Amino acid sequence: MLKIIVSSPERVQLATIIQDQLKNIGLNLKIELLEWGTFLAESGKGNMDMFIMGWAPSTYDGDYGYYPNFHSNQFGSNGNRMFYSNKKVDNLLDMAKKEMNVNKRKDFYNQITTILIDDNPVVPLYHGNNVLGVSKKLKNVEASGYPEFYKYEFINK
């Protein structure tokens, strides 16, 4: 029996779909809904076969999305809850973290992406849509994956 842990009723719905699909190939999956703190503790220890969790790299920098989730020195509660380890990925992440040249950094992250696609330590399930409603009294608003409120200009008219 495999165990998947989740931290919200919405993710229970998603886990139920996964459970049903795995049952079709002969695998049984037990779903556990945990309070957020317990979820973090259990996933940080690796006390599950699977988990569903979101990640939003708010900095728009590859380091924030990749380093905590895939570097082997970030095992467990630091972020790498899959306990994924790949020395080449570690080296590329270390080099990218220090590199100042934007094009060289992009190359490092492209190499990392290629390795992660091959190794498949995570299965991205979905990407949410952002809905944006804007007043005419607000300028400089652009649709993006993460709102940058500091760029907005409020008009007092």
| Beta bridge pairs of residue 2 | 29
| Gap between the Cα atoms of 95 and 77, Å rounded | 23
| Beta bridge pairs of residue 139 | 153
- Give the CB-side neighbour count of residue 69, counting CA atoms within 13 A: 18
Residue ranges in the chain modelled with pLDDT below 50: none
DSSP state letters, 63-114: HHHHHHHH-GGGBGGGSBTT----HHHHHHHHHHHH---HHHHHHHHHHHHH
Collapsed DSSP state (helix, strand, coil) of residue 118? helix
- Report pLDDT for 137: 76
- Report pLDDT for 151: 63
Sequence-ordered list of residues with C-beta below 8 angstroms from that of 110, at least 6 positions apart, any chain? none
- Report pLDDT for 44: 95
pTM assigned to the model: 0.77
Query: Kind and range of the H or E element at 5?
Result: strand 2-6
Q: Where do the structural domains in the chain lie, given as residue ranges? A: 1-53
- Report pLDDT for 143: 67
